[in-house]
Amino acid sequence: MPSVWAQISKMNHVPSIWAFMRIVFNEHRAKGVPVDHGMVYQDLLTGFAPEQIHLLDYASFKHHPYGVLGYFSTFWTSISNLRS
């Protein structure tokens, strides 16, 4: 959260980091962006079945030989094969 605060503080007038963190902990959002991944998943479940939700992790992106695009290409190919 401190990195989010640092970025928005460059663009807007924001409260102190401590006031900002109180808001984040109370609302589970930073400038409207959800910071509680469990909450995001629960929100997704209101419109999608669990099998329609695919969680992707940064470590997989980072270590894929063709980077983010390669990872997504592999991911979409695997999803397409499941639907066939």
pTM surpassing 0.75? no
**On the CB side of 54, how many CA atoms lie within 13 Å of its CA?**
8
- Residue 46: predicted pLDDT: 95
User: pLDDT (tens digit, 0 to 9) for every residue of the chain, 84 residues total?
Assistant: 567 767 777 777 667 778 878 888 888 888 778 888 788 888 899 999 998 888 878 887 788 888 888 888 888 888 777 665
The residues spanned by each domain of the chain are 1-52, 54-84
